[in-house]
C-alpha cells in the first residue's frame, strides 16, 4: 500500500484479519511482508485466503482491506 501523506499519516501498518482459530501466516506490520508460520505438510492442494488490512500509523479507523489468496 502507498499513502502519499507526510509524517505519521503516511506510515502504514499491516495486519492479517480472520485467522484467529488456526494462524498459519504472519505479517510484518511495517513492510506488509507475509510469511508462513506453520507446516503445510498435510495440506497439499488446499487454498488459503485471508484479509490484510493496511492502516496509516495515525490510527485512522477507516483502514482499507484487501484479499490475499495463498496457493
Where do the structural domains in the chain lie, given as residue ranges? 7-70
* pTM for the structure as a whole: 0.71
Contacts of 4-12 with CB under 8 Å at 24 or more apart are: 5/56, 8/56, 8/57, 8/58, 9/56, 9/57, 9/58, 9/60, 10/56, 10/57, 11/56, 11/57, 12/54, 12/55, 12/56, 12/57
- For the segment 24-39, the average pLDDT, to the nearest whole number, is 91
Q: Can you give the pLDDT at residue 58?
A: 65
What does the pLDDT read at residue 64?
Answer: 61
Mean pLDDT for the stretch of residues 42-60: 79
Homologous superfamily (CATH) of 7-70 is Cadherins (2.60.40.60)
Residue 71: pLDDT over 60: no
How many CB atoms within 10 Å of residue 56?
19
Amino acid at each position: 500500500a502507498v499513502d502519499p501523506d507526510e509524517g505519521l499519516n503516511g506510515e502504514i501498518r499491516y495486519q492479517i484479519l480472520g485467522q484467529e482459530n488456526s494462524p498459519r501466516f504472519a505479517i510484518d506490520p511495517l513492510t506488509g511482508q507475509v510469511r508462513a508460520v506453520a507446516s503445510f505438510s498435510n495440506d497439499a492442494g488446499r487454498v488459503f485466503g485471508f484479509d490484510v488490512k493496511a492502516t496509516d500509523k495515525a490510527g485512522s479507523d477507516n483502514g482499507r482491506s484487501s484479499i490475499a489468496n495463498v496457493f
